[in-house]
Structure 1
């Protein structure tokens, strides 16, 4: 028997992207009568709801849910609760899916060892700056071994971007933690692995994501990733992967190494040599990507890589201060306001 699938899309003020997103899910190769699309809207104030209402007129499989808590994880959980399907796929309003996206997710979950399935997310943008940001987010130098950004072969991983789960299993492990503004999928997939199941990444599952188009939004996005990653680690007593700690170590090196270099010529030489090596790698990867695209991308790439690393690292440090040292809710509330 073919399995039924619910695609849950948390969104808020996505008038520029929601139609293409939903259209891609309405055009799947998987039997349409087995798919429902649940859009958990965080009470959008732009034309998002009007656009969804127009889509619903001709597509009864699409439903809009009022997410009065606003946040992404609360929207995800609302969709999971309303779903009655065998499989739940979490998708993003800022993205669109390949025609075989649902079919390949269903096939991947036929393996009983797999608790979560996902695929490779191609990152794009329309502007030169946005394209540079997208390319940096798909480069190992930018995102380490986050394989869902660029992998070309099937493997077991620690997390995926748009995860698919058997609904009963998802409910049994507790669904999404609504405390987390960011990294809620990482934290959930941590629990998937603790339950004894595996997370499968397969390039056959394809989707495309529109990246942030300016440096300020990119900085805020990765700062929040770093900040909330600390809360995930605190909950589970260990990081899911060593890559999550590398930006922290890099920023600590910049700060502590800079201070120590004032008092020692040897430390100063090592400090500036390491920074020079980083800048050389930045240049090499920026040029390598620019050479395939256009040299106009080079300055934006050169700036994007440090933003990815430093913003995440600073967010991580402030997360440690907030969650471990002060055990304060103040920074947490500020971050929730920013995320909206």
Structure 2
């Protein structure tokens, strides 16, 4: 196992997280002489760059690049082009890796059919509200069959977060789409599958992600996921998975069913029956998690699940209007960020 590996980390203003992120790669079980850690910094204005430079003094395999393009996909591509490593792993500055993270990714890519590998992400937060939101983001009711949130078995999937890619495959299919504010990895993984390569999810590949700590940030995050998912579908003429359409259907049901129920008692009864079923499911999963974790989570979970579903669905609807009706790709330019 002598593959060279580069970790590419786009970031901006991550002084509270970048140190632990980099240290998790400094302490990998994979041979240090085969590993490069590349930070594409979007011209941070806090102490992020100083934290990186301090670690550079002791570790010559840490590389700091100026991402003057500012956006996350531009930072990813900048890092990829800077290295000729056999394997490229994209990682988030708001996260840290298990000590065997790189080793298990390399092992997964030993299968010649696999072009991209990824693993299980554990979402955490230091506050009660944030911890409850993290639990909602790790629950099938909250995120559907996004297996990288909770999988226990190895499986082939349609996408992974923090993917590890064969360089030869990236040279074949191209790098990240720099137009996209969100869903860059989904779009790239769409092309991985179209090339005939497989995407492997392995629970042995472990990382931890610091999730959103308040409802406003959670809403914005999933609204953007829904909005930019439309652009990915538009580019490839179809969704990668049916789960991407379910929040859209849910929001259309809430609005359309609510309007139609004023004209028909039958529709009204059916509408409130389905809405009641959703509320029961929300309560069931909220209670289930609260009893196993902490009863303090209950209120936050009850609120988090609808936020995940409604914000994504509304974002999807606005994306449909933006990309198909108004034919624009610029409406969300102001939301670009280099952190993941």
TM-score by length of 1: 0.98
Equivalent residue for 2:283?
283
Counterpart CA distance in 2 for 1:143 and 1:246 is: 10
Counterpart CA distance in 2 for 1:235 and 1:139 is: 29
Aligned residues of 1:322 and 1:332 also touching (Cα < 8 A): no
Equivalent residue for 2:221?
221
Residue 8 of structure 2 aligns to a residue whose secondary structure is strand
Deviations, residues 134-153 of structure 1 (Å, cap 9, x unaligned): 00000000000000000000
> Residues 301-340 of structure 1: matches in 2 within 5 Å?
301-336=301-336
Shift of the alpha carbon at 1:296?
A: 0.8
Aligned residues of 2:123 and 2:208 also touching (Cα < 8 A): yes
Shift of the alpha carbon at 1:162?
A: 0.6
Shift of the alpha carbon at 1:334?
A: 4.3
Counterpart CA distance in 2 for 1:256 and 1:150 is: 33
Long gaps (5+) in structure 2: none
Shift of the alpha carbon at 1:170?
A: 1.1
Equivalent residue for 1:137?
137
Counterpart CA distance in 1 for 2:5 and 2:336 is: 31
Equivalent residue for 2:151?
151
Deviations, residues 203-225 of structure 1 (Å, cap 9, x unaligned): 01000100010100000000000
Counterpart CA distance in 2 for 1:326 and 1:53 is: 45
Aligned residues of 1:14 and 1:94 also touching (Cα < 8 A): yes
What count of residue pairs does the alignment treat as equivalent?
340
1:96 aligns with 2:87: no
> Residues 174-323 of structure 1: matches in 2 within 5 Å?
174-323=174-323
Aligned residues of 2:24 and 2:98 also touching (Cα < 8 A): yes
Deviations, residues 229-261 of structure 1 (Å, cap 9, x unaligned): 000000000000000000000000001001000
Deviations, residues 18-43 of structure 1 (Å, cap 9, x unaligned): 00000000000111111000000000
CA, structure 1 residues 144+15, in 2 after alignment: closer, same or farther (shift >3 Å)? Answer: same
Equivalent residue for 2:166?
166
Equivalent residue for 2:27?
27
Aligned residues of 1:181 and 1:339 also touching (Cα < 8 A): no
Equivalent residue for 1:45?
45
